[in-house]
Amino acid sequence: MQETVHNTGTVYLVGAGPGDPDLLTLRAARLIMNARLIVHDGLVDPAILSMARKGARLVSVAKRRSRHSMPQPEINALLVAEALAGKDVVRLKGGDPFVFGRGGEEAEACRAAGVPVEVVPGISAALGAAAAAQIPLTHRDCASIVSFVAGQCKGLTDQDWAGLAGKGRTLVIYMGVATSEAIAEKLIADGLSPDMPVAVIENATRPDMRVLRAELAGLPALVNGARVKSPALIVIGEVAAEPETELRAFARENLTMEFGQ
Ligand code: SAH
C-alpha cells in the first residue's frame, strides 16, 4: 500500500499593520498575494484581505472584544493541523504579531509540533497611530522613554504603572477604551498630573480615523462623549499635546518678552 507523504507546511505569522494596506511590508504583501490559506483575526482591514488571490481560503478567527471568537488553543490547533497536512499557512494579524498579538503562543505551538514558523513584522498600532496623528513618541525636549501597555483590567491590578507615565515619558495604552476611567483614576492616584495631555486615536491610518485630545482628568468624558470605539489607542504624555501653531509660538515668544512673564 502506498502512503501519501506530506511535506510539512510553514506557518507565516504575518503583521498586517494598523489598517492602511500601503503600510504592509513587501514581504507581507507578497505572502498575502500568493497564499492559498489565510487565517486572519478581526482587526485585519478588508482592503488587505481583498489582496488575496482568487480561490484563496480565508478563515476568520475574529478576536475583537465582545464578538465571538475562536479560543486560542483552537487557533493553535488549526495552524498546526493545516501545516502538518502539508499546507503553508499565512496567519495574518493586526499590527505586529509579537505586540499584544498572541504571536508568541502560536509560534510556541508550532515549534512544539515540529512545524516551521516564520515571523514577518508589521507596523504596530502605536507606531502607525503616532505617525498618522503626527505625535512623536519620543522627542528630545520632552520624552525619552516610551512604554506600550495593555489596558484591560487585569493589567491594571497586576502592574505598577506609576513609573511608566510622567515627565519625560510617553505611555501608549492598547485595548484601553473600555477601561479608560479606571486608567485615568489609577494614574492620577499614582501621582500623575490631572492636566497631563492625552490623545485618543481611533481607527488609526484608516479613512475613518479620529484623533481626539483632552487632559488626563477628562479622558473618560472624552471617550464617552465622543463614543470612542475599538480599535483605539490612548497616548499619555507631553508629546500628546496639541501641536503648537505658528501663531501660538509667535505669541508665546513675543508676548512673553513684552510682559516680562
Ligand atoms: N498586534 C496589534 C495589537 C493587537 S491588540 C498591534 O501590534 O498593533 C488590539 C489593540 O490594538 C486595539 O484594542 C487597539 O488598542 C490597538 N489597535 C489596533 N489597530 C488599531 C488602529 N488601527 N487604530 C487604533 N488602535 C489600534
Tens digit of each residue's pLDDT (9 = 90 or more) over 23-58: 999 999 999 999 999 999 988 999 999 999 999 999
Q: Do 155 and 62 belong together in one domain?
A: no
Among 100, 123, 146, the domain boundary falls at: 123
Q: Which three cell numbers stand for residue 245?
A: 501653531
Q: Do 117 and 168 belong together in one domain?
A: no
pLDDT digits (tens, 9 = 90+) for 192-204: 999 999 999 999 9
CATH number for the domain harbouring residue 68: 3.40.1010.10
Contact 13 CB / ligand 1 (< 6 Å)? no
- pLDDT confidence of 255, banded at 50, 70, 90? low
> Residues near 99 by Cβ (< 8 Å), separated by ≥ 6?
124, 125, 126, 148, 174
- State the pLDDT at residue 206: 96
Catalytic residue among 20, 41, 88, 96: 41
Cβ atoms within 10 A of the Cβ of 181, count?
A: 13
Mean pLDDT of 1-15: 83
| Cα–Cα distance measured from residue 195 to residue 237, given in angstroms and rounded to the nearest whole number | 10
Contact 199 CB / ligand 1 (< 6 Å)? no
Which domain, by its residues, includes 211?
126-246
Ligand 1 site-directed mutation target among 105, 174, 209, 212, most atoms within 8 Å of CB: 174
Among 71, 100, 123, the domain boundary falls at: 123
Q: Is the pLDDT of residue 248 over 80?
A: no
Contact 93 CB / ligand 1 (< 6 Å)? yes
**pLDDT over 70 percentage in the chain:** 85
184 domain residue, yes or no: yes
Q: Is the pLDDT of residue 245 over 70?
A: no
Q: Please confirm, yes or no, whether 20 is among the known catalytic residues.
A: no
Counting from 1 in the atom list of ligand 1, the atom nearest the Cα of 19 is 22
Q: Please confirm, yes or no, whether 63 is among the known catalytic residues.
A: yes
pLDDT digits (tens, 9 = 90+) for 224-244: 999 999 999 999 999 999 887
- State the pLDDT at residue 261: 39
- State the pLDDT at residue 69: 80
- pLDDT confidence of 260, banded at 50, 70, 90? very low
Omega cis (within 30) before 197: no
